[in-house]
Amino acid sequence: MISKENLGGKVKLKRALISVYDKTNVLKMANFLKSKGVEIISTGGTYKYLKENGIEVKEVSEVTGFEEILDGRVKTLHPAIHGGILAVRSKKEHMDEIKKKGIEPIDMVVVNLYPFFDKVDEDLSFDEKMEFIDIGGPTMIRAAAKNFKDVIVLTDINDYDRVIDEIESLGDVSFEFRKKLAGKVFNLMSAYDGAISNFLLGEDSYNDYLSFTYKKAQNLRYGENPHQSAAYYVKTCGKGAMKDFEVLNGKELSYNNIKDMDIAWKVVNEFDTTVCCALKHNTPCGVAEGVNVLDAYTKAYECDSISIFGGIVAFNRKVDKETAKELVKIFLEIVIAPDFDEDALSVLRRKKNLRIIKCSVKPSGAVEFAKVDGGILVQSPDNKLIENINVVTEAQPNKSQIEDMIFGMKVVKYVKSNAIVIVKDKKTVGIGGGQVNRIWAAKEALERAVQVNKISSSKESLEEAGKGSILASDAFFPFDDVVEEAAKYKIGAIIQPGGSIRDKDSIEACNKHKIAMVFTGIRHFKH
């Protein structure tokens, strides 16, 4: 029971305005109000719907003395409506003024808006979409929210029951809940206006105010760590890979699951060929191309059979039964693919906690965000791989090396800087990233290549470790130390952006060791 002390000045409900696009449960609310002797006024489609269902209701035009005009654009924009909403009941001059004007107070406003969020994504003309910009509804709910001490404002159908319960038990709605309902109005309007703003200005324009809008999809058990609270929000307009996926099996997705799934899905969608990406802690641990999904998975697994445990596996092709039988042999958090054969699903579902994600939407984000304390950084996505292939050494890369170089650059852009990726036959054999200097990342990647090739770290083995492999770097070499390290492992070719004032040193080192090197002109930092 809510204390009557929290009511903030109890007001007996006498009059309610109902005008809703989404009519879910509105009959329940209307019948309840009528049972309490509340007069209901309404508009257009809502008026007709209530009438047809036996609800006694007065049309807004009866209140205003003015019929709807301009194809319904103007119907509630009238002093008889807004005066009734905005009058402060505790101010005698307000009440005297509206009484003098023949305006009666409106104690409840039940309104939900034209579905601009949905309509903006439909195959409609620009002018048709503009017609779904609601004017009267936002004006009423903003007015009611401003005067929430006197006017109950309902915009969310999920709040109807609580309002009914409080009126039943208290005769009114508590001050705290009124305030929350008012806050929800301005929360909704900021998103609604933001969606319209982005529609008119474009998402990728750097406007004076940041107005991207997202709606909560679900509360999460916790964030990156158990002591952190978290929720997941999806954008209100437009499709998105991490918005429009389907969960076919498994536990609820976690904060870390969603972040990891996003990167794994982006990696495989860099390729037109059949590719598998194994990912752990937001970084690829194995990426490989195959003649089919099983071949791609087998190769990706071989890249790092340790790190893949408890990780995420992504495919850019439908998963078949044979691949599924291999996937269930180890512990995985998620398998994500554009589709799954039914018999593959039967195999995968044997692991009840394994999250099986079907995603057919390709990554398409117009902008990327990074939150800092007191601000948000906004940038366009890293969607340009190479400016050109500029061979800068005496040794020339062959066709196979160039293909591996391009493969490597598609992977390296998703590895935390400093990033080095070793590739052989369109398969990562060594990945090093997140280091504070490039030589450490290079040594890490090269050592991993040794392990993948099942070669010990003896001097004799080093000479065989990198044969036939290429090295890809997300940024330029400030010194020739990476080339010298690569030479120890017999790396055949290197791809990097170039642009260092000491590029000459690395070029000379490559020429000395007969390593081919190309510059791309495009850096791929991922901080």
Tokens of 74: 């103007």
Please report the pLDDT score of residue 2 as a whole number: 39
Report the SS3 class of residue 246. Answer: strand
Share of the chain above pLDDT 70, in %: 95
- Answer left, alpha or beta for residue 131, where phi above 0 means left and psi between -120 and 50 means alpha: alpha
Among residues 36, 58, 146, 180, the one annotated as catalytic is 146
pTM, rounded to two decimals: 0.84
Higher pLDDT residue, 511 or 448?
511
Q: Which range is least confidently modeled, 77-91, 221-235, 402-416, 429-443?
A: 77-91
pLDDT at 126 over 60: yes
Is 281 in the active site?
yes
How many whole angstroms separate alpha carbon 300 and alpha carbon 346? Answer: 23
- Taking only the tens place, the pLDDT of each residue in 438-493 is 999 999 999 888 877 654 445 556 566 567 899 999 999 999 999 999 999 999 99
What number of other Cβ atoms are within 10 A of residue 225's Cβ?
9
Side-by-side strand order, sheet with 275-280? 246-249, 355-358, 334-337, 312-315, 275-280, 283-289
Tokens of 232: 């997941």
pLDDT at 102 over 80: yes
* Residues 430 and 421: beta-carbon distance below 8 Å: yes
pLDDT at 157 over 90: yes
Higher pLDDT residue, 187 or 366?
187
* Residues 510 and 489: beta-carbon distance below 8 Å: no
Q: Which range is least confidently modeled, 44-58, 201-215, 265-279, 463-477?
A: 201-215
Best CA proximity match to 339, nearest among 364, 322, 356, 363: 356
DSSP-derived letter for residue 427 is B
Alpha helix segments (H runs only) across 101-207: 116-119, 126-130, 136-146, 160-170, 175-201
How many whole angstroms separate alpha carbon 219 and alpha carbon 26? Answer: 27
* Residues 284 and 415: beta-carbon distance below 8 Å: yes
Please report the pLDDT score of residue 480 as a whole number: 95
- Average pLDDT over every residue of 355-361: 95
pLDDT band at 117; cut points 50, 70, 90: confident
pLDDT band at 365; cut points 50, 70, 90: confident
Q: How far are the Cα atoms of 165, 314, 321, 348 from residue 342, in angstroms, in the given order? A: 46, 18, 8, 10
How many whole angstroms separate alpha carbon 496 and alpha carbon 513? Answer: 17
- Average pLDDT over every residue of 44-56: 91
Is 149 in the active site?
no
Please report the pLDDT score of residue 410 as a whole number: 97
Report the SS3 class of residue 6. Answer: helix
Q: Which residue has the tokens 């007996």?
A: 12
Task: Give the length of the chain.
Answer: 527
Q: Which residue has the tokens 């493969």?
A: 407
How many whole angstroms separate alpha carbon 438 and alpha carbon 482? Answer: 7
* Residues 298 and 315: beta-carbon distance below 8 Å: no
* Residues 178 and 148: beta-carbon distance below 8 Å: yes
- Taking only the tens place, the pLDDT of each residue in 240-260 is 899 999 999 999 999 999 999
Among residues 58, 129, 281, 321, the one annotated as catalytic is 281
DSSP-derived letter for residue 221 is S
DSSP per position, 51-114 = HHTT---EEHHHHHT---BTTTTBSS-SHHHHHHHH--TT-HHHHHHHHHTTPPP--EEEEE--
Please report the pLDDT score of residue 232 as a whole number: 94
Residues 6+ apart with CB under 8 A from 277: 264, 267, 268, 284, 286, 287, 300, 313, 314
Best CA proximity match to 84, nearest among 64, 62, 106: 106
DSSP-derived letter for residue 518 is E
Pair type for strands 470-473 and 420-423: antiparallel
Domains and CATH numbers, the chain: 4-201 (3.40.50.1380), 243-380 (3.40.140.20), 390-519 (3.40.140.20)
Share of the chain above pLDDT 90, in %: 67
Please report the pLDDT score of residue 8 as a whole number: 45
